[in-house]
Amino acid sequence: MTTMQTALTANSGNRAVASNESPTMTTEALNVLGTALVPCSYDPLTGYYRDGCCKTDAHDLGSHVVCAKVTQAFLDFSLHRGNDLITPRPEHRFAGLKAGDRWCLCARRWQEAFEAGVAPHVYLESTHIKTLDFISLEQLQTCVIAK
């Protein structure tokens, strides 16, 4: 059973797609709880599509699906791993992040930070279900922050 099928089975009252449908066929993105995806941040404007949500598709090779409240420790970790999230990049509609900002993070980078002990807190309602392809719900739940 895929992670989407598992989450949907666990929350069948909010089922958005049949188990044999492709996730790209859904009209509503789902979060890791199997309910409708809630926006992550409009200021700064986040998401692969810069629409405020951690939505994804086949073009999002980094899987920017984890909605997190970034910390300075995470920003420094990411910088040392080769991903500068601090410096503004206007050509990419990116103003640069500071501790406390909410941002759609790459699932693998969050997992690396988790393993290094510097994973930022996450908002489950705003974290895309695709995250479960990389990170367990149990791991995410150890870093939950309430809205």
pLDDT tens digits, residue range 68-116? 999 999 999 999 999 999 999 999 878 899 999 999 999 999 999 999 9
- Does 10 fall in a domain? no
Residue 29 lies in a domain: no
Q: Nearest Cα to 130, choosing from 71, 84, 81, 61?
A: 61
CB atoms within 10 A of CB 3: 18
Asked whether residue 8 is assigned to any structural domain, the reply reads no
| Inside any domain, residue 26 | no
Query: Domain total for the chain?
Result: 1
Residue 102 belongs to what domain range? Answer: 39-127+134-141
Structural domain contains residue 16: no
- What is the tens place of the pLDDT at every residue in 38-76? 999 999 999 999 999 999 999 999 999 999 999 999 999
Read off the CATH number of the domain in which 76 is found: 3.30.56.110
- Count, in order, helices (H) and strands (E) of the chain: 4, 3
